[in-house]
Structures are given as structure tokens and as C-alpha cells.
Amino acid sequence: MNDNQILDDIIKTDVNLPYEISFRTYLPEGYELSSANFPIIFFLHGVGERGNDLDLVETHGIPKLIKNNKKFPFITVAPQCPPFEWWSRPEMTKSLINLVEKVMQTFKVDKSRVYLTGMSMGGYGSIALANKRPDLFAAMIAVCGGADFDNFENLKKLPIWLFHGSEDDVHPARRSEKIYNQLKDISPDIKLTIYDGIDHNSWDITYDNDDIYDWLLSKNN
């Protein structure tokens, strides 16, 4: 039995957009009885989990681990991308910003410890979202992602850890390397891990590694 409290909600993120975004929130054990504010991680899934069934967000990554009884000391919010949409599109980035701001107002959130991560399409979405509003986040992890733009200077003050498989033929590793190479001389906290021999699925090995959560939780703004 999972001790995490799970809440589902829908937000109309922008009156100019023709859809709503559903999201699943996982509250850590002890949340309800605590007077403390909690760190929070926003998790963006990949293209295969788009749709209208929130159970799909538990296919990979942090939501999957929580479903399988992994205990985390932070709130997790996992929005679901509408069908045929893409997290990194400007309209979706704006919607995600609105979602982050709403969630931070709704739950007991330590606003100095707000984190972002995503895989594949969600890796792209994480980079796009952080690039637009780096002030919202204390750190970010992007897994097998990339970017649809070329200037990453907005990210130079944000701690970032990029992960990619060397044999990824869906989003090649050079897409993370491009971000890292532009930031490595101007960012005090940019890291890149390339898994030798790993293909597109670099998310299992990444999210199964407790070190990434220790790294995130050590950052604050």
C-alpha cells in the first residue's frame, strides 16, 4: 500500500488556450500533519504518455517509483500533456508556468526549493520552461532531451544536470552536449552525464539513482 497521498486536478492554464491540463500530485508521508513547507519537484513525462488518462504519467520516472512504493521527502507534481501537443511549444510553456505558480500557492511549498525534471519530450519541456522562467526553480535535471532554440544564457545561474545515452537515436546525445558546451564556461553549476552504450531509455538508470535527488535537494534559491 502506498502511503503517499495522491490528488488529481485540472487547471485551465490560459483563457486563450483551447484545453485544460490535468495533473497528478503526490504528497509525501506526513504532509497533512506537518506545519512545515516541503520541497517540490515538477516532473514532465515523454511523448508516449500524452492523453486524457492520468494513470499514464506513472509509466516512467518519479511517478512510477512512487506507484511502486518508493518514498520521497518532497511533493511531486506530474502534469499530463494534451494529445498531439508538445511541452516545449511556447503555448505549453506558458501553461506550465501558470501551473507551477498555482501549485506553489495551493500546497505547503518551500519556495526556495522548487525543482524541475523531465525526460525525452519532457526534457525538452524542462529546458524550455526553465529558460523562460529560471527564477522559479532552484535546480533542474533534463534526461535525453534538448532544445528547439540556440541561446541558453538565461540558464547560466541555474544548477543543471543533463543526462543522455550515447546511443540515443531518437534525441541524439549531441543535443544535451550542445547545451552543456554553451554553458560550461559561464555556469557555475552545469553537469553532463553520458551513459556509454545506452539508447533512448536513459531515464530508468537516472531516476533509479538516489544521488540525483540528493543533488536536487541540496540546491536552493
Task: Please report, for the chain, the start and end positions of each structural domain, with discontinuous segments joined by +.
Answer: 5-217
Give the residue-averaged pLDDT of 63-85.
96
Window from 7-16, 85-94, 113-122, 159-168 with minimum mean pLDDT? 7-16
CATH of domain 5-217: 3.40.50.1820
Window from 96-100, 134-138, 161-165 with minimum mean pLDDT? 96-100
**pLDDT per position as a tens digit, 24-61:** 999 999 999 999 999 999 999 999 999 999 999 999 99
pTM passes above 0.85? yes
pLDDT of 1: 34
Is the pLDDT reported for residue 108 higher than 60? yes
Cell of 69: 512504493
pLDDT of 55: 96
Residue 17 burial by Cβ neighbours in a 10 Å radius (0-12, 13-18, 19+) = middle
Confidence of residue 10 (pLDDT cuts 50, 70, 90): confident
**In angstroms, rounded to a whole number, what is the distance separating the alpha carbons of residues 87 and 167?**
24
